[in-house]
Amino acid sequence: MHPNPMVGCVIAVEGEVVGEGWHREFGGAHAETEALNAAGDAARGATAYVSLEPCRHEGKTPPCTRALIEAGIARVVFGARDPHLASGGGAEELATAGVEVVGPLLGDREARRENPAFFHAGSERPWTALKLAVSLDGRIAARPGVRTTISGDAAAEAVQCLRAGFDAILVGTETAVIDNPLLTVRGAVEPRVPPIRIVLDARGRIGTNSRVLTEGTAPTWLLTTSQSPPGWREEIRGRGGRPLEVPSCEAGRVALEPALRILRGEGISALLCEGGGALGSALLERGLVDRLHLIVSGRFLGADGVPAFPGTLPVEGRWRPVEEPRTLGTDVWLALDREEG
């Protein structure tokens, strides 16, 4: 997903594969070019099967449409249409050049399921996922102000893999202060570009010795408001962090809708929020969450625990499963998408 879609291409002649490729790294050759290089002269008159409509724009690499035409590809079959103004329209360009084009073979829902952030084009805010680990009785901590480990090792490893696919990871002030998380990807999957670490901090409460400022190499942004002291901002900059002023709401907190619009303008297209409960609930109530990841533990935390969602769980009737529930050790991972409209 991040920062470009993972596209695959297979070139075949009469059912025999003569070349295949995929987009290996940001700024590297696209899938079509990789497959054409593998096919060589065998590409002339062949069929190219591509998961995404070939791009037609000049970016970090030349247009894939040009490469396919110059290689003599006779037919292109593609899965999903490219929704972006700059890169989309490749199918029409290929057809104009005399290439037979078949596609898109995937409907909008299928395409969004495979790569939702890429197909969130045109939105004023990032495609946003919320991940929360909750106990069986719906708690995220044993008591207010107490850091509590909810899920097990298998779920923790899966979270690292999840993080690798996002532009940025977001937490609220309380989570940053209480848990002091690192917010980096430390699993087996290495991201092509490390996600930016983002903390909401309206008043400047995060200490300059926080792990997001002192450990790891991923950039750290602090979304703050006019209420944070200028001296604190200077200290944050001295630690290599980036204070980014955003509007506040009546309660003095960061105004979420404007903040997300600013993040989109800063190039964040896929955002993972990892809590806490107050921030997660606020995002859900405002319809700002596109996918909900719930890691449900088999343990109970009791009445003193901090509820993940104060009041009624805000998912009933508006969400649909993305996949079958996954069992990870003693935990269950649920993934749900918000229904459009």
User: What is each CA distance from 24 to 2, 8, 31, 89, 191, in whole angstroms?
Assistant: 12, 10, 8, 23, 11
Q: Is 32 a catalytic residue?
A: yes
CB atoms within 10 A of CB 180: 15
- Of the candidates 75, 123, 82, the residue with the CA atom closest to the CA atom of residue 101: 75
**Separation between Cα atoms, residue 21 and residue 237, nearest integer Å:** 42
Which one of the listed residues 32, 34, 53, 93 is annotated catalytic? 32
Question: What's the per-residue H, E or C state across 11-22?
Answer: EEECCEEEEEEE
Q: DSSP alpha helices (H): ranges in the chain? A: 31-39, 64-71, 90-96, 108-114, 153-163, 173-179, 211-214, 230-238, 256-265, 277-285
Report how many helices (DSSP H) and strands (DSSP E) the chain contains, helices first: 10, 17
Question: Going by DSSP bridges, is the β-strand pair 291-296/331-338 parallel, antiparallel, or unpaired?
Answer: antiparallel
The catalytic site residues sit at 32
